[in-house]
């Protein structure tokens, strides 16, 4: 109190000295608790690797029709999350690299102009088997995506809200 010259700030016309001292003490304790709980330089968490390889390519692919930095950031964030989930599913596909490479095009955000019939012919599989494989791939991808997002939120409600936000960011819809 002396070093901050708090007594000089006390106004006897506004309140009692006791109330002033109590309020000052509570504020001091609160600030000390916040300082003690403050995490510095990551707070013991492992650093999040930011893979900058390909960042320039992603920037160049950004749509020129909407140069809003917030929209570009959201889209890039969404693409990094989606690519991470895709990489995890790819790593699980032991010995099925050719099938995975062809079927990953059927994931909604990563789609190309392709048909189930052409994929079936290329992979020498029936269209029914391709449809089942696509369904299973989409389920695994969604599960990995939700696992990745769940690490950044604190409740299942927040998880679903974050998934919806990701979908809006990828689709280019308004985030309002």
Q: Write down the pLDDT at residue 42.
A: 54
Q: What is the DSSP letter of 15?
A: S
Put simply, whether the predicted model's pTM sits higher than 0.85 gets the answer no
CB distance 140 to 89 below 8 Å: yes
What is the spatial distance between Cα 106 and Cα 129, in angstroms, rounded to a whole number?
14
Low-confidence ranges of the chain (pLDDT < 70): 1-4, 6-7, 10-18, 20, 39-68, 95, 108-114, 172-176
H/E element holding 154? none
Neighbour tally for 79: CB within 10 Å: 17
Q: Write down the pLDDT at residue 126.
A: 92
Closest CA to 86 of 73, 61, 103: 103
Q: Any idea where the domains of the chain sit in the sequence?
A: 6-32, 68-171
């Amino acid at each position: 109190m002396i070093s901050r010259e708090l007594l000089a700030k006390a106004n006897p016309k506004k309140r009692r000295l006791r109330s002033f001292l109590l309020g000052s003490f509570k504020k001091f304790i609160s600030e000390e608790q916040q300082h003690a709980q403050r995490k510095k330089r990551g707070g013991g968490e492992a650093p999040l690797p930011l893979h900058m390889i390909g960042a320039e390519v992603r920037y160049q692919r950004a749509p020129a029709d909407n140069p809003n930095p917030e929209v570009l950031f959201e889209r890039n964030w969404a693409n990094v999350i989606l690519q991470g989930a895709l990489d995890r599913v790819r790593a699980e596909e032991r010995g099925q690299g050719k099938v995975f490479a062809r079927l990953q095009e059927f994931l909604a955000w990563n789609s190309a102009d392709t048909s189930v019939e052409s994929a079936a012919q290329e992979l020498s599989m029936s269209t029914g088997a391709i449809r089942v494989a696509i369904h299973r791939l989409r389920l695994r991808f969604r599960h990995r995506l939700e696992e990745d997002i769940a690490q950044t939120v604190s409740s299942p409600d927040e998880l679903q809200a974050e998934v919806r936000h990701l979908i809006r960011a990828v689709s280019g819809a308004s985030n309002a």
